[in-house]
Amino acid sequence: MAKLHSRRLVDFRMGSKLSSAYLSQTVRLWRFLPWIMLGSITWWLGPIQTLAAQALVAAYPDHIRAVTDQAVIWQDGEVMPLDSGHRPTSLASVLDRPNLKDQLALVYPKGRLLTSPARNVDPGRIRYEPFFKKMYGATEDAVRQQLVAVSWLPGSSGQKLLLTRINAVDQRVAMLVQELSLLPDSMQRVVAHPAGSFHWRTIAGTNRMSAHSFGIAIDIDMAYSDYWRWHADKEEAPLAYRNRIPHEVVEMFEKHGFIWGGKWYHYDTMHFEFRPELLTPQ
């Protein structure tokens, strides 16, 4: 190692082609370091990921029996590996082909957001699709069989939202609605007319299934919302954080197991999604 290091030092001093190649390779690797860390260097993340994976058992006891260092064991006996072997090289490739452990790697900041999200930190936005298909249904028909029409706020002209009964999401939303209805009008107006819930579809600009496909997501009023794609078209684009949703509303959703897209660097402030594993104390 020392020999290698001194060789590199000599090359650097001499300004040789070898050293510039080494430097440019280092710069290239450095740029991808967050994704290499996320997907490949697991030895130091291991204990953290095991803890995060254990949260799956607490969050979904009807579905998940246990978690080992290697896999999630479902109640029906299916063993779902935490690492499927894919090695992502960019944010887009983590999003497109994550391992189950990538889904668990980022900690969601519960409660009032004190600073805007750090660059490319989108806790909950990385989803291992087979996990959601197994939990909520692998086809539109299968998901639809579990949907319930839940009455939204009294002031929303009788609007009903289609949500899954799996994990009692429908009942949790009914409780959430009661609490939201107690908010002052100035806050309630941002949720009074939601843009939608169930919709079997891919995420705009991608081939990935949206969380809306599984009946676990609610979009509130677009008129008060901000979405990163309205200001940029690439995952890698630098973004200026925007939000108009009061934290009191966000915290009510979180209390009932919903994470908020406003806590992502790639912000989507109308989006709430049932992901209780990210809200249990770790």
Length of the chain: 282
- 272 sits in which H/E element: strand 271-274
The number of helices, as runs of H, and strands, as runs of E, in the chain is 10, 8
Q: How many other CB atoms are there within 10 angstroms of residue 109's CB atom?
A: 16
Task: For Cα atoms 185, 255, 159, give the angle at the middle one, nearest 5 degrees.
Answer: 50
Q: Residue 67 or 270: which CB sits closer to Zn ion?
A: 270
Q: Residue 101 or 271: which CB sits closer to Zn ion?
A: 271
Task: For Cα atoms 191, 180, 161, give the angle at the middle one, nearest 5 degrees.
Answer: 55
Contact 246, 221 (CB under 8 A): no
CB of 2 to Zn ion, least distance (A): 53
Q: Residue 101 or 266: which CB sits closer to Zn ion?
A: 266
CB of 258 to Zn ion, least distance (A): 11
User: In sequence order, which ranges of 189-264 are alpha helices (DSSP H)?
Assistant: 247-255
Q: Tokens for 121, please give them.
A: 């930190």
CB of 3 to Zn ion, least distance (A): 55
Nearest-CB residue to Zn ion?
Answer: 271
Binding site for Zn ion (CB under 5 A): 217, 219, 271
CB of 271 to Zn ion, least distance (A): 3
CB of 109 to Zn ion, least distance (A): 19
CB of 256 to Zn ion, least distance (A): 16
Q: Residue 113 or 222: which CB sits closer to Zn ion?
A: 222
Q: Residue 64 or 245: which CB sits closer to Zn ion?
A: 245
Q: Residue 122 or 219: which CB sits closer to Zn ion?
A: 219
CA distances from 209 to 6, 29, 39, 47, 131 (A): 50, 30, 21, 29, 12
Distance CA 109, CA 270 (A): 17
Q: Residue 82 or 170: which CB sits closer to Zn ion?
A: 170
Sign of the dihedral through C-alpha 182, 213, 143, 94: negative
CB of 79 to Zn ion, least distance (A): 31
Which of 159, 163, 123 is closest to 144 using CA atoms? 163
